[in-house]
Structure 1
Amino acid sequence: MTFPVLICDDSSLARKMAKRSLPPPLQASVVTAENGQQALDIMLREQITLLLLDLTMPVLDGVGVLEQIKARGLEVFVVVVSGDIQPQMQEKVLSLGALDFIKKPVDTQRLGAVLKKFGLY
């Protein structure tokens, strides 16, 4: 099973690591964005099934992206991948519709478990 995946992070290294943490079949359909505005533009043009989203980015941060996804009624599964592990931030992103919150660097097994839990892999 393969579907479009968008990885949004301002760090090219983090984007590469996130891509490698995906199950191999999903790595083939990855699109990347360097900030939240780029990610939003991509999601408005293309059907994205899964978004791996960093929180701390220039232009539009991860919380702003989640708010826009909600406001625009975009249908996308979002997993937040961030170094910001404050409990209040985790609660906020989950309340905005994120499926889960994974601490950077991405744990491949944890991401796989989240994808399985929500029927994405």
Structure 2
Amino acid sequence: MSKKLLVVDDSPVSRSIIKKCLPKDQEFELYEASDGRQGLEKFQEVRPDATLLDLTMPVMDGFEALEEIKKIAPDAKVIVLTADIQPKAYEKVMALGAAMVIPKPPSSEALAEGFSKIGLI
């Protein structure tokens, strides 16, 4: 059975890289959004099994989107993918309820490890 996966990132290149890093032995029903506001709307619409969320985006950043997602679904599984690896950013997203943070660009191994950690695979 395929899992619903929402990828929220303003960069089409980043979304493409993420898709190429997904575990090949798993089936995913992919949904995409190019900013936090679209990501929040798509989250409400499809209720994904997991969300991969960038932090730096226009309209609504990943911090705000994560906070809103957690208000809607406190048990939502969100993995933050970001180039912003500053300790303050890491601490903030973890406090907001992210399952983990994966530095960009992600590797196939890092995504598989993240998915395993949240029970997606």
Is the TM-score greater than 0.5?
yes
Q: Which residue of 2 aligns with 1:42?
A: 42
**Letter aligned with residue 86 of structure 1:** Q
Contact 1:49/1:75 (8 A) holds in 2: no
Q: Provide, for residues 28-84 of structure 1, a one-character-per-residue CA deviation record: whole Å limited to 9, x for no partner.
A: 411110000001111111121111100000000000001101222354210000000
Q: Provide, for residues 76-117 of structure 1, a one-character-per-residue CA deviation record: whole Å limited to 9, x for no partner.
A: 210000000001100110111111101100121011112112
- Consecutive unaligned residues of structure 1, counting only runs of 5 or more, are none
CA distance in 1: counterparts of 2:35 and 2:71, whole angstroms: 18
CA distance in 2: counterparts of 1:30 and 1:75, whole angstroms: 20
Q: Which residue of 2 aligns with 1:98?
A: 98
Query: Alignment identity in percent?
Result: 38
Q: State the TM-score, normalizing by the size of structure 1.
A: 0.92
Q: Which residue of 2 aligns with 1:6?
A: 6
> Per the alignment, in what secondary structure is the counterpart of residue 24 of structure 1?
coil
Q: Which residue of 2 aligns with 1:67?
A: 67
Contact 1:83/1:104 (8 A) holds in 2: yes
- Consecutive unaligned residues of structure 2, counting only runs of 5 or more, are none
Query: Between Structure 1 and Structure 2, how many residues are aligned?
Result: 121
State the Cα RMSD in Å.
1.5
Q: State the TM-score, normalizing by the size of structure 2.
A: 0.92
